[in-house]
């Protein structure tokens, strides 16, 4: 139990240094490929309400907004790190001005589910390399389980309207951060501050070691695509697709919440 308790104390995702370490990943060429693949499958349209789960500084939220030319009805970003709220405030100024209701940050730990949103609140949802970190500890055995991960998938299905898409990325089993780093070297020639780029890349690699260590212990979940597909099906999703991205170190999934038969017949 002591080791499990220690891991809870050392949950770094909600801390400011860990959050900031990943702010610059959008400059990495592999991440830019991942972002492009995710947004292409998301394909946001005017009037839609979107959930960005584990939003970080709001890169996906911004991309949804820009891809729709500012015509989506709403994007709500959810993340456990309070420091990301400042970025959303600046983002509203850069994109608009945009009202708080249309582009909003909510601090929330998705381990607790999504009970702050009613059924069918959103048309669609996205998530970038985040849901793998839904962790749950069985206090009786002291073992980590996938209960929070499974519950989160079910919660996403609940807050989506029938027909809604969930487009998200997760790391492959035993991801190689070295491959991501190698593919990122070309980015140093395009960035405005190369020294800062190298420092931030090193920080991400350092936190990456912690993530892999915790995944091996069963706390975080870098799962085969077949397992993720089965979990999506168990949560009620259908039309499930996946593809490799992020220098081969992440899957992008697209799944749909089915429309009830009676509703489909009415159409």
198-253: per-residue pLDDT in tens?
A: 556 666 666 777 788 899 999 999 999 999 999 999 999 999 999 999 999 999 99
Answer whether residue 265 is part of any domain. no
Q: How many angstroms separate the CA atoms of 44 and 72, rounded?
A: 7
Q: State the burial class of residue 234 (Cβ atoms within 10 Å of its Cβ: 0-12, 13-18, 19+).
A: exposed
Question: What pLDDT is recorded for position 5?
Answer: 42
Question: Domain containing 70: what range?
Answer: 2-260
Question: What pLDDT is recorded for position 118?
Answer: 98
Answer whether residue 156 is part of any domain. yes
Sequence-separated contacts (24+) of 238-246 with Cβ below 8 Å: 241/41, 243/37, 244/172, 245/30, 245/33, 245/34, 245/37, 245/38, 245/169, 246/30, 246/31, 246/33, 246/34, 246/129, 246/169, 246/171, 246/180
Answer whether residue 229 is part of any domain. yes
Taking the model in full, what pTM does it have?
A: 0.87
Question: What pLDDT is recorded for position 21?
Answer: 61
- CATH code of the domain in which 6 resides: 3.40.50.150
Q: pLDDT (tens digit, 9 = 90+) per residue, 59-118?
A: 999 999 999 999 999 999 999 888 889 989 999 999 988 999 999 999 999 998 999 999
Number of folded domains in the chain?
1
Task: Find all residues with CB under 8 Å of 60, minimum gap 6, and list them.
Answer: 35, 38, 39, 52, 77, 126, 127, 128
Answer whether residue 65 is part of any domain. yes
């Amino acid at each position: 139990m002591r080791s499990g308790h220690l891991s809870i104390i050392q949950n770094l995702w909600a801390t400011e240094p860990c959050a900031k370490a990943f702010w610059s990943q959008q400059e990495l060429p592999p991440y830019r490929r991942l972002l492009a693949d995710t947004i292409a499958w998301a394909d946001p349209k005017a009037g839609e309400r979107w959930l960005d789960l584990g939003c970080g500084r709001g890169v996906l939220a911004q991309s949804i907004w820009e891809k729709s030319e500012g015509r989506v009805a709403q994007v709500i970003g959810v993340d456990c790190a309070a420091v990301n709220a400042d970025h959303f405030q600046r983002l509203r100024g850069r994109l608009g001005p945009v009202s708080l209701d249309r582009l909003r940050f909510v601090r929330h730990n998705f381990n607790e589910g999504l009970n702050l949103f009613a059924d069918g609140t959103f048309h669609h949802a996205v998530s970038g390399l985040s849901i793998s970190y839904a962790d749950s500890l069985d206090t009786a055995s002291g073992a980590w389980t996938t209960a929070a991960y499974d519950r989160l998938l079910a919660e996403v299905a609940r807050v989506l309207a029938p027909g809604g898409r969930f487009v998200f990325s997760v790391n492959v089993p035993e991801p190689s951060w070295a491959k991501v780093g190698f593919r990122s070297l070309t980015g140093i020639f395009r960035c405005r501050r190369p020294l800062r780029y190298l420092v931030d890349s090193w920080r991400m690699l350092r936190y990456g070691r912690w993530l892999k260590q915790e995944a091996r212990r069963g706390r975080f979940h870098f799962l085969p695509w077949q397992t993720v597909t089965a979990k999506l099906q168990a949560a009620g999703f259908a039309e499930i697709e996946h593809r490799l991205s992020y220098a081969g170190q992440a899957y992008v999934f697209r799944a749909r919440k089915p429309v009830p038969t009676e509703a489909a017949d009415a159409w």
